[in-house]
Structure 1
Amino acid sequence: MIRTLLLTVSLALGAGTARATCPPAPAQPGADQAAAWAARAPDRGPLWRISRDGHSSYLFGSLHVGKADWAYPGPALRQAWGETEVLAVELDPADVGPALAAMPPPEPLPAPLARRMEAQAAAACLPPAALARFPVMLQISTLMLFESRRDGFDAGFGQDLMLLAWAKRDGRPVQSLESLEEQLAALEPTAAELPIVVDGSLKQLQKGQVRAPLRKMADAWARADMKTLADYPRWCACVDTPDERAWFKRVNDDRNVQLAERIGQLHGAGQRLLVAVGALHMSGPQALPTLLARQGFTVEAVHLAK
């Protein structure tokens, strides 16, 4: 849900201190292996063509982590890249790092939650207080990202990073669909929600309940299985209380209205876009394909599970 912010934080922190129990740092492929993966990469992730005003753009549902061989586009995504001229993402990482560094530190968590957060950071082999300067939900999500390394996932292999690298290579413009302030305003729980949302997330980490839902999400994403992704709140064990449901709705569904409006404005200005937004934004009553269809777009599935 917080792909660009999470990627920025995780890359800044690095792999932590190497110990046998640490989440393993990702192994980078050699040149021959990378070439082989690139040559036979299948299509992964949901992809739509959206058409209006006499031209077409593409909408791609991305995942904020991936496996080493996932960092290469399949035929449909390569075609979408060739037919577009601007990459649109939730946030351009080039804008995020300096803005985060300039932000004042967040309000400290209540002491019991702070101790539990520090214990989870130690389990991830992160230096003491390494996360304290970041907003609380970035702290939680970074811990979950490091835990996902135990299953071979890493932000460095996500499709977002691959597309941004392509944009830099080709000199392609990158458009942000949100500002840092807008995304943080959505991500941070209210004062009433915070202890409940943080407590639930820490319990998942402490009980080892993070990895199975992420594996299920990643598998569904790779197959472009929108039915399973749409059911995420039912099986993730992370949207169980009223406060968690309110936070999830604000982070996912409510942001889609503004994301859709921004996509429509950029496309309406004549830009042929490849839009890469988190795959969960493609599901539910406020799904981006649905909102764009309401704006008059013709929305055609290019890669979706049957």
Structure 2
Amino acid sequence: MRILRILVAQMRDIDLSAPLRLVRGLRPLSQWSRLSRLPQLPRQLLAGACCVFTFSAAQAACPPSAIASLEKPGTALRNGVDRGMLWRIERDGRTSWLYGTIHVGRGDWVRPGPTIQKALTQSDTLALEIDSRDEATAAAMARPADPEALARVLTGERARRLERQNAEACVPPGALSKLQPILQVTALAGLVARADGLYPEFGVDETLAVSARNSNKPIVALESAAAQLKVLTGESEAEEGEQIDAALDELESGKLRGQLKELADVWARSDAARLARYADWCDCLNTPAEQRLMKRLLDDRNPNLADGIERLHAGGKGVFAAVGALHMIGAQGLPTLMAARGFTVTPVLTDAQAQTAAPMAALAAPSPAPRAVRGGKAVKGQRGQANPKSAKGAPTAKGGKAAPAPKGGKAPAKAAGKAPAKAPAKAAAPAAKGKVRR
């Protein structure tokens, strides 16, 4: 199974709508706990907000819930900075986008950076691997497994190992037991990095989906729930059991947590070059079984994803296609496939960078309002403080002249949290035949 499942296959039944509505409204962090009540137990567990259901004696050892993690001292919502990998693709006079995501995230990743937000705003449609908010999709993923199949796959020591991992993850006994076996262990894999501040609730795909819904932008699923379940389960119950054993090995050893943290750091730096060398450092392609899994999760799916993106673009839509970042690398990666289909592919965000998100301006103390002006002239004390580089959209005085600075002659401070722009350097992504700009 390995860590690539987390980057490639989205977690299901994650309710992010309350947190992101709060972010958009810039409400105080004290309101998170009230707004984050989730209506269904399975949804809470798969989202990682399961500690509230444990006995009080065990709560001290449980990682905080996603909401509680934002209320730690020194933790605050931040203005977005650009993270992940982004390519612009153009054909037929229209522009679409490829965005490599990760399906877990940190609290300060919930706001897209300016480049990502602009590309999303300019697009007509958001395309995701799967839309977990779609009712039919959610029902398919949450459908109880066949009890006889559960008994065949989760037998003996395998069942006991899974039970121990549920206890370590603070999941109440039996809470996940009706889900398909591979989904049970995938849910646990998504919870393991909470100790490092990574939560499924803050998964990048989900935050983009909420942003799109808030702006009434259509969302299209590139795959079906049935197709993703088939990819996850494999060709047989025996293969599914082998994948469960491999995942339990990594959960028990702590290896999975370290791999997920490394992948998250690579993604956050937009380090496409290191991601392209994933096979060299992930320690996850050592056996034929692992190599088959990689092929099934990535190479076998990518042509269908490319078909869906091309179809939407050809239909006259500018598409923002957000899928797991590992779909972007290699000879079968989406940038290469789209170039082969006649798209001009231009790297936009693909180079390693260190970024810092400053606190949101709206959560900081408000700046004092500028003094009023009389007849378009500066008030006493403001003479000689004209600023020819006034920001676009600044309030103007009567007569169309720019409003003067506040009393004392000092120009207003720049809004807190505005991330400095950084021009993208030469792309580190693999080259593709066709029209690829460098």
Amino acid at match of 1:144: A
In terms of mean alpha carbon deviation, does 70-79 or 193-202 score higher?
Answer: 193-202
Distance 1:202 1:29 in 2: 29
Q: 1:198 to 1:231 in 2, by over 3 A?
A: farther
> Is it true that 1:290 corresponds to 2:336 in the alignment?
yes
- Superposed, which structure 2 residues align to 1:198-277 within 5 Å? 198-277=244-323
Distance 1:43 1:142 in 2: 28
- Residue 10 of structure 1 deviates from its aligned partner by 7.2
1:4·1:90 contact (CA, 8 Å) conserved in 2?
Answer: no
1:140·1:201 contact (CA, 8 Å) conserved in 2?
Answer: yes
- Residue 28 of structure 1 deviates from its aligned partner by 5.6
Partner of 1:193, secondary structure, is helix
Deviations 1:228-252 (A, max 9, x none): 2223233333332211221221012
Distance 1:221 1:160 in 2: 13
List runs of 5+ in structure 2 lacking aligned partners: 1-7, 16-40, 352-424, 426-438
Q: 98, 114, 118: which one pairs with 2:139?
A: 98
- Residue 259 of structure 1 deviates from its aligned partner by 0.3
Map of 2:235 onto structure 1: 190
Q: 345, 366, 371: which one pairs with 1:299?
A: 345
Please report the TM-score for the alignment, with normalisation by the length of structure 1: 0.91
Distance 1:244 1:114 in 2: 22
Amino acid at match of 1:283: I
Deviations 1:262-300 (A, max 9, x none): 110011100111111000110122101111111111110
- Superposed, which structure 2 residues align to 1:114-129 within 5 Å? 114-129=159-174
Distance 1:70 1:10 in 2: 24
- Residue 138 of structure 1 deviates from its aligned partner by 2.0
Please report the TM-score for the alignment, with normalisation by the length of structure 2: 0.65
Distance 2:284 2:181 in 1: 16
Distance 1:167 1:88 in 2: 10
Distance 1:245 1:195 in 2: 17
Map of 1:24 onto structure 2: 64
Deviations 1:143-200 (A, max 9, x none): 1211110101101112212111111111111000001111111111233433332222
- Residue 137 of structure 1 deviates from its aligned partner by 2.7
1:87·1:174 contact (CA, 8 Å) conserved in 2?
Answer: yes
In terms of mean alpha carbon deviation, does 213-222 or 136-145 score higher?
Answer: 136-145
Higher relative contact order (Cα pairs below 8 Å, separated by 6+ residues): 1
Amino acid at match of 2:81: P
After superposition, the CA RMSD in angstroms is 2.1
Amino acid at match of 2:259: P
Distance 2:248 2:167 in 1: 13
Q: 1:277 to 1:145 in 2, by over 3 A?
A: same
Partner of 2:348, secondary structure, is strand
Identical aligned residues as a percent: 40
1:289·1:299 contact (CA, 8 Å) conserved in 2?
Answer: yes
- Superposed, which structure 2 residues align to 1:164-179 within 5 Å? 164-179=209-224
Map of 1:76 onto structure 2: 115
Q: 1:249 to 1:221 in 2, by over 3 A?
A: same
> Is it true that 1:5 corresponds to 2:12 in the alignment?
yes
Q: 1:89 to 1:123 in 2, by over 3 A?
A: same
In terms of mean alpha carbon deviation, does 103-112 or 271-280 score higher?
Answer: 103-112
1:201·1:238 contact (CA, 8 Å) conserved in 2?
Answer: no
Q: 55, 64, 69: which one pairs with 2:94?
A: 55
Deviations 1:72-107 (A, max 9, x none): 111110110221111110111123322223454372
- Superposed, which structure 2 residues align to 1:154-173 within 5 Å? 154-173=199-218
Deviations 1:102-123 (A, max 9, x none): 4543722232211111111111
The higher radius of gyration belongs to 2
- Residue 131 of structure 1 deviates from its aligned partner by 2.0
